[in-house]
Structure 1
Amino acid sequence: MRIGLLARVHLGTMAVLSVLTLSACVLVAGLPKAAQTSYDEALRRALGTAPAVTADLTVTTTSRGAEQDLRERGQFDIRDRRWRQILPAALRPLIQPAGTGTSHMSAKTTLTPLTGTGGWTYLNLGWLSDADRRVTWVEGRAPAAPSTMRYEGATVPVFEGGLSREALRKMGMRVGETKMIGEHDHAAVKIVGAFEAKDPSDRYWSHNSDVLHVIETLPPGATDTEKHLTALISDAGLGELSGEGRNLTYRWVLPVEPAAATALAAPELRTAVGEFGRAVLLQSTAASGSYSLESGLTELLGDFLAALSAAQTVMSLVLGGLLAVALGVIVLTVRLLGDRMDRTLSLARARGGSLRQVAGTAAALTAIATAPAAVAGYALSYLVPGPLLPVVHAGPLVVVVVAVGVCAARTALTHRRPLPERRDDVVAARPGARRITLEALVVVLALAGAYLLRARGLTTSGEQDPFLLVVPVALTVAAALVTLRCYPYPLRLFVRLAARGRAAVAFLGLTGAARTRSGSVLPVLVLLPALAVSVFAAVVADGIAGTQRLASWQQVGAPIRITSETEIPADAVERIRRAPGVERVVLAQTGQVQVGYGGERAEAIAVDVAGWRDILDGAPVVLPPLSDGALVSPELRGRGTFEIGWQSRVKLATRGVVEAVPGFFTKGKFLVVPLDIQLRPAVNTLLVKGDAALADLAAIVPSATVESQERALAAIRDDPLTSAVRWTLTVVTAALSAYALAAVVLSLVIGAAERARTVSFLRTLGLSDRQAQRLTVLEILPMIVVTALAGLGLGLALPAALGPGVDLSAYAGDLPVGDYSLDLFLPTALAAGLTAAAVLGAYAHTVVSRRRGLGAVLRVGDLT
């Protein structure tokens, strides 16, 4: 057979098939790459924004005596090279070279008491291998070699040390002083200089925050805080530092390079961290002491993989649905091409053509239309940055194989006998008992699967649950089967009602719609999942957006919040009130209070609750009214009237229990009290209503931190994983809507010849053009409407059915996304748009048919 001639004759249909194949291959190959790129960016951001002490690998050991002491830098270097040699292969690309990033070595004492302070102040000694690159001496000089002195009849070492300027100011010390440390094994620290960090914002300092700052801790049951500060010593001082009588810890920091991490390698990285920890432990000997690995990288990767699993689950659902719908539309087009070639192939079969030749010709014509388009789509997917996943290569191949295979199988089945007698105008045979039983079993299993998913949740943590991917497919198939089996029955009722009337158009149109022919199956199987997945994507995206807004309000607690560690001056408050864009300012004081007379503590906020409620008007967070007494956390409930110590002793009656206080407290012991319980409120927090410039407010109170709800919302939305999920849901919704529209148009075109013939028959009996339009609409519209309603219902039900198995909190400020409010605007618009497209298509079809002469449709003898 002349395939070239057939291609020219059916050029329009082949062009449509090529366009659909091209779009499907671009989407199926490009979207996973874009999603994987977002996953990689999310992991790199997580590693880059986490404190270095959490993300880096730190090998530690504690010296228990002189035999385990490290006295010189060379001993540290030897061990640093050893740690890098035993790194697992998966970790080596992720670790930065020695001397770069946050890489360094240190020796520090801990819990070294300042003599005479009763154990409430600790002055530790610290050596950093790269201190000369990290600090600038702003007063005095850098430490030199230690000396000795006599103290209480004994000779003790005198370490020269330097403190940060902040520590000197907070502790009331000065350069030139000598402090004694220890309670039994004494030593002296001569403060010879003060320093500042060259770059205080460098992640390096998260490993050594005790060197820059005074660390204050509150021991359990205590009312006063302990103060810990660390003095830098020189290399010579390291030679005199011993674990004999002191808590001395050595550390080697192996920094992680975020840019080298990939999401695909994250599971392997988490395993490699565990392997490295075991390898480090095996290096322990009696002479060297016990080595261990300290790092939060395992937990960080675990949290990322849990968030990634939810993202991949959602992506798998929507991308799998997109691929299924795209294949369905392509199969519809292949069927249209087969119908157009039916007469030619039947004639070739009748003239002696073998079944292999006939089926091969149809398959070759389909391959000509799909293979080049698939290659072009595969090539275009390389414009999307991202790793080459297996689906990138396999997706276009699957599209071509399905299209060619369906065409060959359908042609072989249709033309298995030369010139078979086929009639398309009769009602399909009733399904047998076996088929009905099988379909009922599918429906029951789908419902049971949805119930079990809600009842048990996921079976694994941080990994995709195959059960979660099977249930949506089963529910979609079940909904399609129910729709196909049930939609003719209510139509037959309308047919009976129409038969009682005198108008024939309604009867004929509804009768045609009620016929359960095989031609109605494919459009339903395409439209239903297309609408279901697109509605599901729209509902999930809306649920994420709403929860993100709620999370931003819970994080900030007001349109703008200004917080300071110290009291905000009254004149600054007045300047903020007069600042452009400020509508209202509510004063508040936060702090820690004593509950009762023991050591129990609670976080508290004293605030004008009525004013706060006013600026929260319209926000998704609420606060109960309070005029006196206190609102308490669940941990403080049931106490009735209790007493707190803040500026003074105050008795408070419990007026309510709140699970959280927006912007301040989410767990633990806390309470909200009126601001007027304070004799003189020391305002350190301002809640601002308005749209003032944050930079202007920060300039008024330089020591304060200024946050806004809009900025918090933007930070949540700008997360790479969150952006990837929302962007993919939007693209898939648009693509599925386009495919659903294409399915409607194709279903109209597939039945166009038969409808044109029917209308032409009726026109010979006096059918008018308006009646022909009504007839066509009545025949097409019921199937579209019923399928649209079924898809709409399934799409709205899927989030509720899958809710326990899909944790989207990582994309909504760590709040669970469970409130899928029924905002029916977009889902209804999708269903209404498809229905409108069907009506317009029906009218367009009647316009085209009206232009045809009866002789172009009816053959001689058709009217006899």
Structure 2
Amino acid sequence: MVSIGAVVRRIRAYSGQFLLLAALTLVATLVISGVPRIVNAHAEQGLRAHLGAAPAQQRDVTYSTGPLLAKSDGYSPVAARQRDLATLEAGMPPVVRGLVEQRWFTAETAASRLSGPDLAAKNLLVHLGLRTVSGIETAGTLVEGRWPADASEDQPVQVALAVDVARKLNLRLGSRLTVAPPETPEPLPPLRVAVVGLFQPRDAADGFWDGLPPLLRAVEPVGDGEPFIAVGVVDGAVLNRQAADGWTMSFSWRYRMGADGIDVRELDQVIDGVQQLTREAEGRNIVQGLDIPLGEFAAEVDSARTVLGVIAAGVLATLAGLVVLAAGLLVRRRRSEFTLLRARGGAATTSAGRSLTEALLVVPPAGALGWLVGGLAPGAPGGTLWFAVAATVLVALALPVATLVASRGGAGRRDLIRSRPSARRLTVEAGLLVLAGLAVVLLRRRGLTPGEVDPLLVSVPVLLAVAAAVVAMRLYPWPLRLVSRLAARARGSVAFLGTARAGRSVVAVPLVVVVLAIATAAFCAVTAAGIEASRDRAASRVVPADALILGDRIAPDTGAELERLPGVRAASPVLYEAGQRLAKDAIGTETRLGGVTVLMVDGPALARIVRESGVDVTVPAALLAPAGGGGPLPAVVSPAVAAELADAGLDGSAFVSAQGQRYEFRVAGQAESFPLLRAESSRFVVLPWQSLPRRDYAAVPTGFLVAGDDLDGEALRRAGDAGQSRFQTGGAVTGRERPRGVELLTFADTRRQVGEGGANGVLAFGFTAGAAGGMALGLLAIAFTVLAGARERGQVLSRLRTLGLSRRQWRGLLLVELVPLVGVSVVTGALVGTVLPLLLTPVLGLSAFTDGVEVRVAFEPGLAAAVVALGALALGFAVAVEALNNRRMRLGEVLRLGEEN
């Protein structure tokens, strides 16, 4: 019969050790319960930001019809079609239907010839379509007049126009117009129209105004004799009458989707539901781009969860090791109690049963408390209840298992003998090394499915860390023994005694735990540094300078204007043209090869820009050719273009067009990618601007690279706009309208965009928590190591103090004894954490966080300094723990209390 009171008294007697076991249980269940919630919260926040940054039209699902003859008696075709707005939404999959935030219905006529005195005054040819749009009164603001209403049949149809459309077409409030009817078997009278209102959008970029033809502007003619295309807003009743008269109508139903209705745990179901809409359009045309940003985000989340699985495996394995250390420490403190039980006739299971009873009173409540505290974290639950239950059960069983193992061993002082590992243990360790190697090879060959908790993936880091710890455990005593022999010949006893004790210490489990913890922290630090460096390369691929100005054609003297601006150190022109054809000769003989993108850069100037800006870009030597050289231009081309030119025998001389001029070039180098080009560009030719031959019409820049400090973005933009205007108005033929403003990209903004949004918050949380948790658990494991040998060291210290050992010498002895263990543990863990990214990065899909740039992990000099600092911190922590423990134990009483004299 088990007495609960006796169990409680034993727990109180060893309250410190049981409290430690309960704390580890609480931390484990807290991690299992709370971390998935925090990850889901970061993912939901990232999804809202990701969809918010996507263009509005990409978040819309639009159903539409072609021109229909909606003529029918006795009902309103526009109202009937508008009721389909709710019908179509009701037919959506539930996961998609919950995303709908806004909805709009549109009905319109085809554009027909428009005439009137105001148009004739400017000799304008215009076709006008009539459209009714639900919600336009909310999305638009009247500048003049009123919104259209229904009018009697003898009155002109009331129409409202966008302010820019009216200005472009020379129309105003009160303009009277005539719309030609469509061709029908029975001729229809023309439709009289009056402009009763002019409006402008509240927010032109909110996506409400998307549609073809657009409401907010008149479409320019594409050639001579072609009309302007414009759209006017009318009341729905007008279209009902036109349909009754035989006018054809087109209808569309548009739904704006929002991120607030998306459960990040059901992201795959949402994507499947959106794609299901396309398959079930029921005869209507459907346009949607929602699955694209959702798919991009899902790829990032899957990759982030894969990385988090690796980190979680390291953290939980470290916690498991700490539980083993805590259970072993508790059993060691109670070894005399269990020995007495055996001496009184108790079986080995008696002690184990007593330990299990005690564990059941301590561990489950701690596990439940950790689960409840973790449940307070923000975010949706991760469905990890059974994992928490399993962890609690395993911790509860750790104590009785440790008791059984301890009952089979002797009570002698193992630090006084040099133990030799048994053949069974050596076989297990060798098998562990082989298993770790096979797991790495299998993982690299097989790959993995991102987003899933792959048992092989999460086991590889743990296996490698344990294998490395085993190797270190077997190797590090050998140099210590050599040092001990040398110390024996020297004066003083501190070095000899410290190295002798360190060489004989049994540190298998503590060493493994510390290596696991430090390896997890190092993996997080090294991988995060590799991702940051890859993001820098991704940003420099888009903007290989401090700033980039892009436009149509910019006057060449703009470079000098830019260099006179405050903070600008250098400016270099670039020319970009896509869709150019390769030719065999100067007259343009077709090569029948695919189109290419042509990029012209001033090689020496680009090298200076790159150097001044400090970006990670290498300018190929072929583009640094000096000016004035004859023959074909040395060009850097993509491998696909190089292969095609070589097969055609044109790699030594081929021609490519740029701005209407043909330039002869030869293949002088190849590159998989090049700055200023899109990541997916696989067909390009890069020419050196400084080597271009003289032509009647010189190449005109389409952009400028700028290097400088504290750049004024508005000043750069004004200089670029002025350069465009000078080029357009400086020739014999000038443009009709002011050119579109230049686009200004800065490296800082581009770099920030690459590193923000999406699932980057999830990844950042994982790396931060993994690095901090790994270091904290590593220090805790070192503290356990110190406490595990505290009684034996206390006895040795008491004897040595009676022989005249000073307090300073005692600290030196402790340092000499702990430095090998701490140093080997930290260095081994750091090496494993550095090697892990090299092995795992190819299968983790981290390029989803670097704009498609491959993540390359390299040695960071700061890692060596961090390892030294962490080792010093760990050593200082170990000495502090030892000093605190000795003060609590009162070293003068250790010899009287100890029974192992």
Tell me the TM-score range normalised by the shorter chain.
0.7 to 0.9
Read off the aligned partner of 1:838 and give its amino acid letter: L
1:833 aligns with 2:827: no
In 1: Cα distance, 2:807 partner to 2:656 partner: 86
Aligned: 1:745 with 2:783: yes
| In 2: Cα distance, 1:244 partner to 1:368 partner | 85
Quote the residue 2:255 is aligned against: 254
Number of residues of Structure 1 aligned to a counterpart in Structure 2: 824
Query: Are residue 662 (structure 1) and residue 642 (structure 2) matched?
Result: no
State the one-letter code of the partner of 2:469.
A
Normalising by the residue count of structure 2, what TM-score does the alignment of the two structures yield?
Answer: 0.77
1:715 aligns with 2:753: yes
1:152 is matched with none
Equivalent in the alignment of 1:336: 329
Alignment equivalent of 2:399, drawn from 397, 407, 413? 407
Change (3 A) 1:475 1:178: farther
CA distance in 1, matches of 2:34, 2:44: 16
Give, as a single letter, the amino acid of the residue that structure 2 aligns with 1:476: A
Which one is further off, 47-56 or 652-661? 652-661
Q: Does 1:619 align with 2:619?
A: no
Shift in CA distance, 47/357, structure 1 to aligned 2, threshold 3 Å: same
Deviation at 1:280, TM superposition (A): 3.8
1:385 is matched with 378
- 1:237-316 map, 5 Å: 237=239, 240=242, 250-281=251-282, 290-291=283-284, 293-316=286-309
Q: Name the stretch that deviates more: 397-406 or 136-145.
A: 136-145
Instruction: Report SS of the residue matched to 1:204.
Output: coil
Matched, 1:585 2:571: yes
CA distance in 2, matches of 1:323, 1:851: 31
SS of alignment partner, residue 203 of structure 1: coil
Cα deviations by residue, 1:218-255 (Å, 9 ceiling, x for unpaired)? 9xxxx999999553464434764799999x76432232
Residue number in structure 2 paired with 1:693? 712
Structure 2 letter corresponding to 1:688: V
Q: Provide the C-alpha distance between the structure 1 equivalents of 2:505 and 2:26, rounded to a whole number of angstroms.
A: 32
Residue correspondence of structure 1 range 445-844 to structure 2 within 5 A: 445-458=435-448, 460=449, 465-489=454-478, 491-492=480-481, 508-515=497-504, 517=506, 520-565=507-552, 567=554, 577-591=563-577, 595=581, 596=583, 597=588, 603-617=597-611, 618-624=614-620, 625-626=623-624, 627=626, 629=633, 631-634=635-638, 636-637=641-642, 638=645, 639=650, 640-643=652-655, 645-646=657-658, 649-654=661-666, 656-666=669-679, 667=681, 668-669=683-684, 671-674=686-689, 679=697, 683-689=701-707, 690-695=709-714, 697-698=716-717, 703-761=741-799, 772-817=810-855, 819-826=856-863, 829-830=866-867, 833-834=870-871, 837-838=874-875, 841-842=878-879
Please tell me the residue identity of whatever aligns with 2:380. Answer: P
- How far the C-alpha of 1:581 sits from its partner, in A, is 3.1
Matched with 1:87 is 92
Match of 1:323 in 2: 316
Residue deviations 1:500-552 (CA, integer Å, cap 9, x gap) = 778766555444334473xx222022111111111111100001111111112
Q: Quick one: which amino acid aligns to residue 615 of structure 1?
A: I
Q: Distance in 1 between matches of 2:424 and 2:261?
A: 57
Change in CA separation of 1:272 and 1:587 when aligned onto 2, cut-off 3 Å: closer
d(CA) in 1 for partners of 2:433 and 2:221? 61
| Aligned match of 1:151 | none
Deviation at 1:743, TM superposition (A): 0.9
Amino acid at match of 1:740: G
Q: Secondary structure at the match of 2:851?
A: coil
Give the 3 Å change call, closer, same or farther, for CA 26–846 of structure 1 in structure 2. closer
Aligned residue identity for 1:822:
F
Is the Cα contact below 8 Å between 1:51 and 1:206 reproduced in 2? no
Over 3 Å counting, the alpha-carbon distance change for 1:861 and 1:25 in structure 2 is closer
Tell me by how many angstroms 1:480 deviates: 3.4
Q: How big is the shift at 1:686?
A: 3.3
CA RMSD, Structure 1 to Structure 2 (Å):
4.8
CA deviation after TM superposition for structure 1 residue 169, in Å: 7.6
Counting aligned pairs with the same residue, the percent is 27
Q: Does residue 200 of structure 1 match 2:210?
A: no
Q: TM-score, normalised by structure 1?
A: 0.80
Q: Which structure 1 residue ranges, 5 or more long, are not aligned? A: 116-120, 149-157, 282-289
Q: Tell me which amino acid in the other structure corresponds to 1:663.
A: L
Question: In structure 2, what residue type is equivalent to 1:326?
Answer: L
Query: Does the CA contact (< 8 Å) of 1:61 and 1:251 recur in 2?
Result: yes
SS in 1 for 2:254: strand
Moved more, 755-764 or 197-206: 755-764
Query: Any idea what the Cα deviations from partners look like across 1:74-97, whole Å, max 9, x if unmatched?
Result: 23123223212222222222223x
Whether contact under 8 Å (1:63, 1:243) holds in the other structure is no
Secondary structure at the aligned position of 2:618 is classed as coil
Q: Deviations over 1:456-483 (max 9, x none)?
A: 433x466554433333233233333434
After superposition, give the CA deviation of every residue in 1:182-207 in whole Å (9 maximum; x if it has no partner). Answer: 99999999996676434211122345
Aligned to 1:40: 44
Contact 2:465/2:512, CA 8 A, preserved across alignment: no
3-state secondary structure, aligned to 2:548 = strand
Q: 2-side partners of 1:274 and 1:860: how far apart?
A: 75
In 1, Cα distance between equivalents of 2:281 and 2:524: 47
8 Å contact from structure 1 (residues 270, 298) kept in 2? yes
CA shift in 2, pair 1:130/1:215, >3 Å: same
The structure-2 alpha-carbon separation of the partners of 1:710 and 1:483, relative to structure 1 and needing over 3 Å to count, comes to same
1:236-295 CA-to-partner distances (Å, cap 9, x unmatched) read: 34764799999x7643223212111121011221232344444443xxxxxxxx235432
Q: Distance in 1 between matches of 2:578 and 2:182?
A: 31
Give, as a single letter, the amino acid of the residue that structure 1 aligns with 2:312. Answer: L
SS of residue matched to 1:384: coil
Opposite residue 303 of structure 2, the aligned amino acid is A
Asked if 2 retains the 8 angstrom alpha-carbon contact of 1:531 and 1:831, the reply is no
Contact kept? 1:741, 1:834, Cα under 8 Å = no
- Does residue 231 in structure 1 map to residue 223 in structure 2? no
CA distance in 1, matches of 2:14, 2:221: 81
1:22–1:373 contact (8 Å) kept in structure 2: yes
What letter matches 1:403 in structure 2?
A: V
Q: Are residue 440 (structure 1) and residue 478 (structure 2) matched?
A: no
Return the alpha-carbon distance in structure 2 between the equivalents of residues 107 and 113 of structure 1.
15
Does the CA-based 8 Å contact 1:214-1:228 persist in structure 2? Answer: yes
CA distance in 1, matches of 2:699, 2:858: 42
> What amino acid sits opposite 2:58 in the alignment?
T
Partner AA of 2:208 in structure 1: Y
Closer, same or farther: CA 415–207 of 1 in aligned 2, 3 Å: farther
- Between 462-471 and 353-362, report the one with greater CA deviation: 353-362
Please say if residues 141 and 192 of structure 1, whose CA atoms lie closer than 8 Å, have aligned partners that are also in contact: no
Distance in 2, Cα, partners of 1:181 & 1:443? 85
* Matched residue SS, 1:386: coil
Deviation at 1:748, TM superposition (A): 1.0
Q: Following the alignment from structure 2 to structure 1, what is the Cα–Cα distance between the partners of residues 380 and 431?
A: 41
Q: Which residue of 1 aligns with 2:35?
A: 31
Asked whether 1:130 is paired with 2:168, we answer no
Question: Would the alpha carbon gap of residues 863 and 126 (structure 1) be closer, same or farther in structure 2, given more than 3 Å must change?
Answer: closer
| Matched position secondary structure for 1:791 | helix
SS of the equivalent of 1:251 reads strand
